[in-house]
Amino acid sequence: MKTALVNVFRATFGRAPEFISRAPGRIEFIGNHTDYNGGTVLGAAIDRGVWVALAKRDDGQRRWVSDQREGVVTLSAEGVARQSGVQSWVNYPLGVLAAMPTFGLRVPVGFDYLAMSDLPTGAGLSSSAALELASGLAFLAATQQRPSRETLVSVGKHAENHFVGVPCGILDQGVSGFGRKNHLVYIDCRGPRFSTVPLPDGAHFWIFNTHTKHALVDGLYAARHSECMAAAKTLGVGLLVEATPVTVRAAENTLAPAVFKRARHVVEEIARVEQASAALRAGDRAAVGKLLTASHRSSQSLFENSTAELDFLVDTLVGMPAVFGSRLTGGGFGGAVMALTSGDFGDAQAKAVSDAYEKRYGARPDVLHAQTGDGAALVTV
């Protein structure tokens, strides 16, 4: 990927990049919509992600290119306004630039910028957070700054919340920033505090991308966020992490029906994260798998952010002997399903799942056998 990145940069801008960075995509392992509710979550950085190459300019111009879009977007150093249409992808790195001064960081003035990805978009693997963190590292390298990893993660989250306009929690940026090969990232979102949990030997991730709609800015994610905040307010707590399953159930007649279901999902999901963390440390893949499937059923019936396509994949996968458990991964409302499997699940089993899906829906899902990977980092040019 690095060689291709350098070659495209040279072909586009007529010179070599000065800085290269990379940030991984992530799998939301368990902890669906718990992060912005102050809860805990487990995620895995994977061995695919977003690469950014950058070289400084002295004329104040910023030229932006992505392998996911056609053309060059040219903006002045003062052009930090939110973009729309085909240029809207630039909002992710622009948001990072806009956020940096909030954290006391200097911003590069002019530059040529190229982003390339080997991460499938719209699959719930958080290509946006990877783009934010890779961009942040490149901007920091260009200005010779090395803040803490916690700050880098916070800058990315701030960009997504306040510039892009998605009220996400710290999960996506945190896992992309703190990923570690053969480990999951555990985040206590109240700190936030980051740690890692070893992944049991012989555990494999398979991702099935449905190609169904996965657009978090279309209001569905924001609606769930608002419902959770409304539940917390009625329960008299700052965030739902301060509630318990007992207190939520006791308030069933006080909360609106939809709000009650959202709150119940969140508090029970936080409990599942803790149970999964303990099972992972014990190496109990079967127990972890049951918690993953229980998480999906809760997303399906209580949080209502699943789809028929995602449910079909989960139902198909959990009926297979080499699968420990399966659930939607990411914000939901389309996107992808993750399965935790043994090494006995291979291409033949994945094809069987895809064949069944195609028979039902007339299209085949993209299949990715993902490995864990390390977090965001600069790469030697």
Long-range CB pairs of 258-261, under 8 A, 24+ apart, other chains included: 258/227, 258/304, 259/227, 259/230, 259/231, 259/234, 260/231, 261/301, 261/302, 261/303, 261/304
- Distant-in-sequence, close-in-space partners of 78: CB < 8 Å, separation ≥ 6: none
- Distant-in-sequence, close-in-space partners of 93: CB < 8 Å, separation ≥ 6: 52, 64, 113, 115, 131, 132, 135, 139
Strands (E), the chain: 19-30, 40-57, 61-66, 73-76, 110-117, 183-188, 193-198, 204-209, 323-329, 336-341, 366-370, 377-379
User: What's the rounded Cα separation, in Å, for the pair 146 and 142?
Assistant: 11
User: What's the rounded Cα separation, in Å, for the pair 334 and 215?
Assistant: 8
172 part of the active site? yes
Q: Considering 59, 172, 366, 374, which one is annotated as catalytic?
A: 172
DSSP 18: S
What is the sign, positive or negative, of the torsion defined by CA atoms of 197, 192, 172, 96?
negative
Specify burial of residue 86 (Cβ count, 10 A radius: 0-12, 13-18, 19+): exposed
Structure tokens at 38: 């102050």
Phi-psi region of 372 (alpha: psi -120 to 50; beta: other; left: phi over 0): beta
What positions carry a catalytic annotation? Answer: 172
